[in-house]
Amino acid sequence: MDLHPGDGLLVADVQNDFLPGGALGIARGDEIVPVLNRYLAAFRARGLPIFASRDWHPPVHCSFREQGGIWPVHCVAGTQGAEFHRDFHLPPSAIVISKATDPKQEAYSVFEGTTLDEQLRETGVQRLFIGGLATDYCVLNTVRDAITRGYAVYLLTDGIRAVNLKPDDGRKAEEEMIRLGAVPVRLENLAA
C-alpha cells in the first residue's frame, strides 16, 4: 500500500517504564522499537504528520496501587521512566501528546482529555496508522476512539505489544480492533 497526504502516524507510549526493566515493563516491548523507527522514517520521508503519545502521570495517580488502582507507580511526569526509549527515533517535527495527567482520571485512549482530535484535523489526517504500547490498553482504546470519530484506522500489527495481565488479552484486543474495522498492516505492506 502507498502512503499519501491525509495519512498520519500515531505511536503510543514508547516509554522506559513500559519497556523491559521498567516499572510496568512489557515483555518483548523492546522488539518493536526498531520496527516503529522504520514507520517513523517512512512517514517522515513523505512529510506526513507524526504523533507520539506519552503516559504522563502526576506522582499521585488513581491508577496506582497506593491509590486503589491496578498498576505500580509508572510514567511519572518528568522522571526517567517517563522518557521515550533512547533508541526510539522521534523526529523533531513529531507532535508529542501527554495523557492521563489528571490525578483523578485514568485515560488509556490518547483522545481522552487531549487535543489529539483537533490536531489530527489541523494536519488533515484522515487515515491514522497506530502502533506502540500497550496493545490491550492504550492501543485498543485509542483505535476504538479513532474509529468512532470517523478515522480510517490501520493497526501496525508488527509494532504493538501487550501487557497481558491475562495471557490472551493482547490477542483478544487485536481481534476486537480488527472486528471494529481497523485494517492490520505490517512493514512489508508499505511501499518502499
Q: Is residue 71 a contact point for ligand VGL (CB under 6 A)?
A: yes
Q: CA 38 → CA 20, 26, 59, 145, 159, distances in Å? A: 21, 21, 33, 25, 10
What are the φ and ψ backbone dihedral angles of 156, each rounded to 5 degrees? -80, 90
Pick from 13, 145, 158, 174 the residue near ligand VGL by CB under 6 A.
13
- Residue 11 binding: pick among Zn ion, ligand VGL, none (C-beta 5-8 Å cut-off by kind): none
Smallest distance, Å, CB 71 to ligand VGL? 5
**Interaction of residue 51 with ligand VGL, rule CB under 6 A:** no
Residue 121: which of 151, 97, 91, 77 has the closest Cα? 151
**Does residue 17 bind Zn ion (CB under 5 A)?**
no
Q: Specify the DSSP class assigned to residue 122.
A: H
Q: Which is nearer to ligand VGL, 8 or 25 (CB)?
A: 25
CA terminus-to-terminus distance, the chain: 10
Query: Which stretches of the chain bind Zn ion, using CB under 5 A?
Result: 55
Catalytic residue numbers?
13, 99, 138
